[in-house]
């Protein structure tokens, strides 16, 4: 059987193929496509019972109906998040949907810290200067993070890994979540209300999933609570931040720095080369004009360790589907959506 995977990155493909070869040998053939799955490309999945999707694919009602009509029965998402999939419609159409509920939390947590340090110490601006043999330090002054306060919004596996690194820096820890994590409490974290965390933290890092309850969690009101010189980091989902509100506060001179690995309108932009085109997304273009804002293209997860684990979990999801099994990764089965716990990143 041929299985088709959408949005496969060049560095991802060999790891995905290795996992397939180990698990399936000659039983299933993998077809990797660089294009993303949406209403225009969905017809290319016709005749494929199993489809592998990614975070920037669009699996709304129209796409899901097209897939179901073409014979697809399993959608295996190569990611933890699934906000791009209409699970209700998928269940109604008899589609099984699975995701990767776990991969290396260190990949994202470490990258969040890479963003935080790069923003705090003006690393990108410094690198651009030295390439031009400009070795001045004007405008490059950062600040020690030791002794300051880190606010961790979402203390699941990734948030906990981020908190451990903050603890290693000697930072005071504040946390916000629906439940308190004993591992974070052991680090000395104090759980507080969302508003207090924003008001007291020198560094705010977002590690919650994108749900209706967390959409635009960081809005104009939240940004107004933050310290003028605070640093805001988002390596989770772009929709957690109201981009228009962020642009407004940046124009007003706060927060002190922003590191974004995700953007709420990133689909159709991230993972693609747009360098020879006119940037029509005005909000993203405006974000890029601020010298205290660093934007990367959803690469926090992108380590060999994490991608190998994602590939292996995807293979297991396929094996479970053919064996008629469900598990922690199953989001829907033919009878409808599977109840699942809200898992913070």
Residue reference for tokens 């494929």: 48
Domain 105-295, what architecture?
3-Layer(aba) Sandwich (3.40)
- Regarding the domain delimited by 2-103+303-337, which CATH topology (the fold level of the hierarchy) does it fall under? Rossmann fold (3.40.50)
Interacting residues of 195 by C-beta distance below 8 A, sequence separation 6+ = 222, 225
Give the domain ranges of the chain: 2-103+303-337, 105-295
Which residue in this structure is represented by tokens 């995701």?
99
The answer to whether 34 and 329 are in contact (CB under 8 A) is no
* Residue 79, pLDDT score: 94
| Residue 335: per-residue pLDDT | 64
Predicted local confidence at residue 267, as pLDDT = 87
* 119 neighbors 171 (Cβ within 8 angstroms): no
CB atoms within 10 A of CB 293: 19
Alpha-carbon span 319 to 307, nearest angstrom: 18
Cα dihedral 98, 77, 64, 10, rounded to 10, equals -160
d(CA 226, CA 248): 14
Rg, C-alpha atoms of the chain: 21
pTM of the model: 0.92
Q: Which residues are catalytic?
A: 237, 266, 298
* 67: its two tokens: 């897939």
CB 287 within 8 A of CB 261: no
pLDDT at 61: 97
The torsion of the CA quartet 305, 307, 313, 317, rounded to 10 degrees, works out to: -170
**pLDDT, block means (10 residues), the chain with 345 residues:** 96 97 92 95 97 95 97 96 93 96 96 98 96 96 98 98 98 98 98 98 97 96 98 97 98 97 94 93 96 96 97 97 93 68 42
Distance CA 183, CA 189 (A): 9
Beta-bridge partner residues of 218: 241
CA distances from 48 to 3, 11, 44, 126, 324 (A): 6, 24, 9, 49, 18
């Amino acid at each position: 059987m041929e299985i088709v995977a959408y949005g496969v990155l060049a560095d991802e493909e060999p790891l995905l193929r290795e996992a397939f070869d180990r698990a399936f040998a000659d039983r299933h053939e993998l077809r990797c496509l660089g294009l993303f799955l949406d209403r225009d490309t969905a017809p290319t999945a016709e005749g494929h019972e199993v489809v592998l999707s990614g975070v920037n694919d669009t699996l709304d009602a129209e796409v899901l109906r097209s897939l179901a009509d073409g014979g697809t029965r399993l959608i295996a998402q190569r990611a933890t998040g699934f906000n791009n999939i209409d699970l209700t419609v998928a269940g109604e159409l008899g589609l099984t949907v699975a995701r990767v509920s776990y991969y290396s939390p260190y990949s994202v947590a470490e990258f969040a810290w890479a963003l935080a340090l790069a923003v705090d110490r003006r690393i990108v601006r410094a690198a651009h200067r030295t390439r031009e043999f400009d070795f001045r330090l004007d405008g490059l002054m950062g600040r020690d993070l030791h002794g300051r306060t880190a606010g961790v919004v979402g203390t699941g596996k990734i948030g906990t890994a981020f908190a451990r690194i903050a603890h290693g820096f000697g930072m005071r820890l504040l946390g916000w979540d629906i439940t308190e994590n004993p591992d974070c409490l052991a680090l000395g974290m104090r759980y507080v209300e969302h508003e207090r965390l924003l008001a007291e933290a020198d560094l705010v890092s977002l590690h919650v999933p994108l749900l209706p309850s967390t959409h635009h969690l960081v809005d104009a009101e939240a940004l107004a609570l933050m310290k003028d010189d605070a640093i805001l980091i988002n390596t989770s989902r772009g929709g957690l931040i109201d981009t228009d509100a962020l642009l407004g506060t940046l124009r007003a001179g706060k927060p002190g720095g922003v590191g974004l690995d995700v953007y709420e309108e990133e689909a159709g932009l991230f993972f693609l080369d747009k360098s020879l085109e006119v940037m029509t997304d005005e909000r993203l273009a405006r974000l890029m004009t601020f010298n205290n804002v660093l934007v990367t293209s959803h690469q926090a997860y992108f380590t060999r360790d994490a991608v190998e684990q994602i590939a292996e979990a995807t293979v297991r999801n396929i094996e479970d589907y053919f064996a008629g099994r469900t598990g922690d990764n199953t989001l829907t089965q033919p009878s409808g959506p599977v109840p699942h716990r809200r898992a913070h990143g």
